[in-house]
Structure 1
Amino acid sequence: MHNPTFQRSSGWALLKCAAVAFVVAALAGCAQRPATQEPATAPAADQEALVMLPAGALTEAQLLQHPIRYYLDLPYAGNDNPRQRLDVYVPEQPSYVPMPVVIYLHGGLWQSGDKAQAAERMLGLVTSGDFAVVAMNYRLTDEAQWPAQLHDVKAAIRWVRAQSNRYGFDPQRIALWGHEAGGQLALASAMTNQAQDMAGNLGAYTHIRSDVAAVVNYSGITDLNALLSHAGSIDRASSTAPEALLIGGLLRENSDIASAASPIHYVRRQAPPVMSVYANRDQVVPEAQGRVLHQRLEEVGTEHYLVQLTTAEENTPNAVTADSPWAQADQRALAFLQRVLLGHLVTVDTQSIE
């Protein structure tokens, strides 16, 4: 595997803004919204307590305490649909010029979830200075069925690549990190890197490629048809099963569409490196979904890593405690990204996490 040497910056002064020098001194950090928005102001403590945010989301007052810049609710598909917007988080002093990018795809069984959930979970990647993070929304099943969600992801990747100069992104080092439904979308997008017929035509940048360099997959469904034979807490034969809502019909009656929405269907030798994490007691996404993918990637010779959580009973929440099994998994994922995107000679630990 080719690991190029990347340029480190000594400060990247262009990202700093003299107008926030006072805030930097006062908060020992800097965070900014886009220049086109009103300056961020910290709400009063009693007001902040009333704000209802998704699990893992951070208030602007909390974001302002970190050495980052952030840009919220940017449209990536050329319209005003709130489900086709993204947030950008970049380090105030990047370690690399240009920066590798991790695009985060939230979970929620394609029925719920929000890009704001990425803030706390991904903040460490940004504050390390090594990565920029882009958190995206995608259309849910109450609005659109497959492959609309995949087309959203592809459009967001193209947007990131098109905006490389503006935000300091490295268009050659883009990774996807997805949880549950987001894991399925991340895998499906990465496994179809070279498939132009799968890219859709959303947004202004359809001439730009939508391939990625790596995938972190947490509890992503890999084979929709196989769910019918996998034990779990959801009746996958039902018309209200999340997968049935995704493809617009019963799995048993639409096996062809289910296959088209299954990442394992697209695995090829040229697939990018993948790291997967599954909990062996997860009743929502059976661990068998990870083993099926692992075996297929093994067959084609793609660099891949599978980590099992033996104590976690369900999908990871977006906010995790420092000593939780999922926090340990995050450290494995960080090592994977350092290896694949930064070229570090590190080993990715695949021993089970208890």
Structure 2
Amino acid sequence: MIGLPVVCCPALTYASQFSTSTAFSTQGIGVASKVQLTVQEVSSPRTFTHGVTRLTDIVYATPDGHRPLTLDLYLPQRPVGHRPLIVYVHGGGWSSGHSRVAGAFEDFPAVLARFAAQGYVVASLNYRLSAEAAFPSALEDVRTAVEWLQERHRDYGVDPSRMAIWGSSAGSQLAALAALDCNHSANRTAPCAKVLISWFGIFDFSTLVKDLRFAAIIQASRRYLHCPDGPCAAATLNAASPINHIGKSAPSVLLIHGMADQVVPSQQSEAMAQALQRQGVQATLLLLPDVSHSFVGKDQIATRAANYAALEATAQFLGEHL
């Protein structure tokens, strides 16, 4: 484990060192000094180390009047039996982003393939962005993708009762709503997620919009919530805020955030962890000092250390709870 110190609220469950008990390794994972924005051109399928295969651009839905929505699947070698499922939801302020790009990782598909090498089936999905459709369209897309995967669990060797939803930044807000408000439809019979993983997530719009230090994400949230020219209605803010959707059936939750985040305040994750604890939900909060959004540190060494720490903590949490 990389010796990166972490701090947290004493009343919450946390670890000052995550000693990964799984065989997950960060060795060779490329981390740049800044956020990566370019989507790599790929062919399908692509074979990674340890026999992991990726199937790309699988269409899971085509909403009326919109482009086909796709996901990539990362399958472990001989994907037979009942494998746990990880569903990844990308960030990008609800207005940009792609299923193959995350933070400063030089090759995020290789990161997802590392999890598949541990025996998980991993799905990374695209959804409608705010310029295409406002809230709750992206949330509906995430829910549709989850249901699509669970319905086809036999095709991919998935155990539908062992599912984690993992999101970063804006993707964390979508992942959290999908995981916490699982029984949104009376017709839904599939199991809910057992684990929620959040990296530098957004959970309470009502407090976010009051902090003028974070103007960029405030404006992005207004576009997403379809109120770009002025304050959003309180009912809209509340409906879109995962902190208001915590029930007793909520999954185990890991929240990781950089304490020097200049895009999304770390107080978003702190408040969410406290709210989860008040509801009796198992929540682990990992705060990384001197680390900004996308786990970018003061230099490339610090950025690599922060990203590796987040990956190792995520791998350990999944191994323990999924």
Q: Pairwise mapping of residues 1-354 of structure 1 onto structure 2 (< 5 A)?
A: 54-55=37-38, 57=40, 59-60=42-43, 63-66=46-49, 67-78=51-62, 81-82=66-67, 84-94=69-79, 97-117=81-101, 118-128=108-118, 130-196=119-185, 209=190, 211-230=192-211, 232-234=213-215, 241-249=219-227, 252-316=231-295, 323-341=304-322
1:65-90 Cα deviation digits (max 9, x unpaired): 42112211111125695562111110
> Aligned partners of 2:77 and 2:236: how far apart in 1?
44
> Aligned partners of 1:307 and 1:188: how far apart in 2?
20
Aligned partner of residue 236 in structure 2, secondary structure: helix
Unpaired runs of 5+ residues, structure 1, are 1-52, 198-205, 342-354
User: 1:126 deviation in Å?
Assistant: 1.1
Using the aligned pairs only, state the percent identity. 26
> Aligned partners of 2:286 and 2:174: how far apart in 1?
19
1:252-301 Cα deviation digits (max 9, x unpaired): 34121111000001011211111000111111110110111011001011
> Aligned partners of 1:83 and 1:254: how far apart in 2?
31
> Aligned partners of 1:212 and 1:320: how far apart in 2?
34
1:217-273 Cα deviation digits (max 9, x unpaired): 001100011012335342566xxx011011101563412111100000101121111
Aligned partner of residue 173 in structure 1, secondary structure: strand
Aligned partner of residue 113 in structure 1, secondary structure: coil
Aligned partner of residue 324 in structure 1, secondary structure: helix
> Aligned partners of 1:157 and 1:72: how far apart in 2?
16
User: 1:315 deviation in Å?
Assistant: 2.2
The one of the two structures with greater contact order (alpha-carbon pairs below 8 A, sep at least 6) is 2
Q: Is the 8 A contact 1:275 1:306 kept in 2?
A: yes
TM-score norm. by structure 2 comes to 0.78
Aligned partner of residue 243 in structure 1, secondary structure: helix
Q: Is the 8 A contact 2:257 2:286 kept in 1?
A: yes
Unpaired runs of 5+ residues, structure 2, are 1-35, 102-107
User: 1:322 deviation in Å?
Assistant: 9.0
Q: Which has the larger radius of gyration?
A: 1
> Aligned partners of 1:257 and 1:74: how far apart in 2?
32
Aligned amino acid, residue 142 of structure 2? V
Q: Is the 8 A contact 2:85 2:163 kept in 1?
A: yes
Aligned amino acid, residue 216 of structure 1? I
> Given the superposition, is the C-alpha separation of residues 320 and 160 from structure 1 closer, same or farther in structure 2, using an over 3 Å criterion?
farther
> Aligned partners of 2:44 and 2:185: how far apart in 1?
42
> Aligned partners of 1:259 and 1:79: how far apart in 2?
26
1:11 — aligned with what?
none
Q: Is the 8 A contact 2:205 2:240 kept in 1?
A: yes
RMSD: 2.7
Q: Is the 8 A contact 1:236 1:243 kept in 2?
A: yes
How many residue pairs match? The answer is: 275
